[in-house]
Structure 1
Amino acid sequence: MEMNVSNDEQVVARKAGGLNPTLILPILLAIGYLIYYFVLGNPSNFKDDPRLTGMSVGFSGVETKELHPDGFMGIIYMGGPIVPILITFMIIVIVFSIERALMLNRAQGQGNLDQFVLSIRRLLNENKIDEAIEECDRQRGTVGNVIKEGLVSYKALAHDTTMNKEQKMAALNKAIEEATTLEMPMLEKNMMILSTLGTVATLVALLGTVIGMIKAFNALGSGGGTPDSAALSIGISEALINTALGIGTSAVAIIFYNYFTSKIDSMTFKIDEIAMSIQQSFAEHH
């Protein structure tokens, strides 16, 4: 009964680790829109901004086609209504990448992980189980937590007289698998957000690109044969700005997702490596 309570507490602790997307995403969305309207849309980013003379047209204070950017931030503002969404995506990628980096760094524990693996394997070869458990306590990481559960089960099964060797090996393997399952949610939490934005950011940017090109072709076909050059350039600019933001956000999300995935795979491989050593040691000494 005590073991079930302990496992339940561990599951709750691992699910609670990291940022809660339900709470943080609306906040980041609000920040994205505030940056768009009050930082990028600041009148100082435009030449002869009609808003400075008291005009008030639309939500942003003036129609976009009447603005004349004076700097990079003003140019980004001209990207249209899809830009704040893409800005939000970029902020989400940055925030959750930092969160994952901190969590995975903590999951790696203290000291060099490769040296920890070698140390545990050496102690197992010498059948020094208590010393190996102490080494796991000092490591304080995901690999150490899983291996400690395996070693504790190792000690308990070594003194168990009710099961034969095959049953003990199966129980030991199950204990390691359960410990690994408890640790994985903490490692993989919020990874889906990075994976999703790696694709969705490009699609949303494509929507902004299409909207910009529609405006450009509309300007090209208006005016009775004389295209509105200003509206045409604004439409093309809007399309390219959305494309650039979307590609940039997608690239950053994919890079961080692959980097974190490789770190998780590396830790999982080390767990499997030591787990095999534990099973071999148990089979040899018991």
Structure 2
Amino acid sequence: MEAQKPNSGAAPAQKKNVQPEGSKVRGIKNAFLVIVVCFIVAVCLFAFWFGHDSHFDEAGHPQDIWGTIYMGGVIVPVLQTLFLTVIVLSVERWIALSSAKGKGNISKFVANVKKCLQSNDIAGAQELCKKQKGSVAAVVSAALVRYKEMDANTVLSKEQKIATLQKEVEEATALEMPALQQNLPIVATLTTLGTLVGLLGTVIGMIKSFQALAASGAPNSTELSTGISEALINTAFGIATGA
């Protein structure tokens, strides 16, 4: 009889294979490809649209906002890459987090699960999780599976069962969190880089402006306006990316 005790203790550990394999929240897995695509789009916009001859007069002065953006210099494509990437990943995160809520209302879902548990209808609660889907439903479903196992277990004490349920919820939550937090550090990094690169472009533009002012004789108004335009355009893109 003593040789069979390890088997009864090992049974709960073997049943952990019932837990979900991972989060099913959709999202962009490789943000590097998004950055590359946004860089290509930014370069194409800068070269073929902002720098098109139709946006400049014969003297090379910008006639509209697009030509003014082109005067911002080579830092503009970099800032546009950061700006476009932040927009794309922000929209992607909004869609992913919306799908994580599931199909129905979370409050109603939780209330319905409570009603099922009060009537000891575990199967009904699990069916609600299947219909709801999303991260919340996945965590609740994993907890219900473990609760059903603990309810049938006559070996563990009440405190051990509660600890097992808490651990199951923590493990199920840990499986969902990477998908929910995916790409958020990249967005935070890009917003910081956008502000810093915009500041760099501002400084470069102001240097060009002061170089035009320091020229011997009358300052070149074209070079002066070019430097100021570069500084302001880069500032605008940096602020937009940070915002």
TM-score (norm 1): 0.75
Aligned partner of 1:218 in structure 2 is 211
Deviations 1:196-243 (A, max 9, x none): 122211110000000000000000001x23211111111111101110
Q: Does the CA contact (< 8 Å) of 2:209 and 2:224 recur in 1? A: yes
DSSP 3-state at the match of 1:35: helix
Q: Does the CA contact (< 8 Å) of 2:86 and 2:191 recur in 1? A: no
Aligned partner of 2:40 in structure 1 is 30
Letter in 2 for 1:105: S
Q: Does the CA contact (< 8 Å) of 1:79 and 1:242 recur in 2? A: yes
Distance 1:3 1:123 in 2: 24
Aligned partner of 2:235 in structure 1 is 243
DSSP 3-state at the match of 1:226: coil
Shift in CA distance, 137/206, structure 1 to aligned 2, threshold 3 Å:
same
Which of 149, 152, 169 matches 2:145? 152
Pair 1:134 & 2:117 matched: no
Pair 1:10 & 2:22 matched: yes
Distance 2:152 2:28 in 1: 39
Quote the RMSD (CA, aligned, Å). Answer: 1.9
Which 4+ runs in 1 deviate beyond 6 A?
A: none
Q: Which runs of 5+ in 2 are unaligned?
A: 1-13
Distance 2:104 2:79 in 1: 39
Shift in CA distance, 227/180, structure 1 to aligned 2, threshold 3 Å:
same
Deviation at 1:84, TM superposition (A): 0.5
Aligned partner of 1:103 in structure 2 is 96
DSSP 3-state at the match of 2:22: helix
Distance 1:158 1:67 in 2: 80
DSSP 3-state at the match of 2:138: helix
Deviation at 1:28, TM superposition (A): 1.7
DSSP 3-state at the match of 1:69: coil
Overall identity of the aligned pairs, in %: 47
Which of 84, 87, 106 matches 2:80? 87
Pair 1:122 & 2:132 matched: no
Deviations 1:32-52 (A, max 9, x none): 11111111111111112xxxx
Aligned partner of 2:186 in structure 1 is 193
Pair 1:40 & 2:33 matched: no
Aligned partner of 2:3 in structure 1 is none
Relative contact order, higher structure (CA 8 A, sep 6+)? 2
TM-score (norm 2): 0.88
Shift in CA distance, 82/225, structure 1 to aligned 2, threshold 3 Å:
same
Pair 1:228 & 2:215 matched: no
Deviation at 1:73, TM superposition (A): 0.7
Deviation at 1:80, TM superposition (A): 0.7
Q: Does the CA contact (< 8 Å) of 1:18 and 1:186 recur in 2? A: no
Distance 2:174 2:90 in 1: 23
Distance 2:207 2:29 in 1: 39
Q: Does the CA contact (< 8 Å) of 1:19 and 1:99 recur in 2? A: no
